Amino acid sequence: MSDGHARTAGRLAEEITVGGRTYRLRPIITGLYAELEAYVAAQRGNPLALATEACKMAPPEQHDAIWQAAMSQASKARVVTAAEIAEFERSIRGLAWKLWACLQAEHAAEFPRPDDALRLIEEAGEQRMTEVASKVHVASGEADLGNSDGPGPSQDLGEKAA
C-alpha cells in the first residue's frame, strides 16, 4: 500500500510539536465534512436576530422589507455553497477547523470544538502558520486525494519558534 493510500485509510499520521507537546494528526473522516458545512452556516449568524436589531433602528415603513429579507435568508441558512466552503477553507478559521478535524482521532478531549484548535495555531505563531497548514494539508488526506489546492509537501515542525 502506498503512503498516500495508507494515509487516506487512516494508517499514517503527521505530527506537529507546539509548545513542547506533540500532537498526532489523522485524516479527516467523511462524516466530519457534514459538520464543516454546518459550522460554516453557523458562522453567518441568525438572520432573524439581525432583523430584530435592524428594525429597532429603521423607520417602521422599512420593517416589512427587513423581515422579508430575513425570512428569505433564514430559509437558505443551512445551504452552503461550494464558493463559501472554498473561501472558509482559505481563512484562519478554516485552517483551525481542519486542524481540529485532524486532531479528533487522538485528541478529541483536548479539542472538543473547532474553535479550540485556533488556540494551538495561535500558540504556534504566525511564523509557523505555513508549516502547520502544510502538516494539516498532508494529514487530512486532501494532498493524497487531490481534493484541495492547499500547501504542498509537509515540513518538519520541530519545537516552537522563539
DSSP per residue over 11-79, as a string? ---EEEEETTEEEEE-PPPHHHHHHHHHHHHHHT--HHHHHHHHHHHS-GGGHHHHHHHHHHHHHTTT-
95 and 33 within one domain: yes
122 and 90 within one domain: yes
> Is 80 exceeded by the pLDDT of residue 154?
no
92 and 28 within one domain: yes
The whole domain housing 93 covers 3-38+82-145
87 and 21 within one domain: yes
Q: Answer yes or no: is 153 within a domain.
A: no
Query: What pLDDT sits at residue 11?
Result: 59
140 and 91 within one domain: yes
Residue 96 burial class via C-beta count within 10 angstroms: exposed 0-12, middle 13-18, buried 19 and up: buried
**Cell numbers 465534512 label which residue?**
33
Q: What confidence tens digit (pLDDT) does each residue in 1-11 have?
A: 555 555 555 55
Q: Which helix (H) or strand (E) holds 127?
A: none
Whole-prediction pTM value? 0.67
Q: What confidence tens digit (pLDDT) does each residue in 118-140 have?
A: 999 999 988 888 889 989 988 88
Q: What confidence tens digit (pLDDT) does each residue in 8-51 have?
A: 555 568 898 998 999 999 998 888 888 888 888 888 778 888 89
Q: Which three cell numbers mark 145? A: 486525494
106 and 132 within one domain: yes
93 and 130 within one domain: yes
What percent of the chain shows pLDDT beyond 70?
80
In the chain, how many domains are there?
Answer: 2
58 and 137 within one domain: no
91 and 128 within one domain: yes
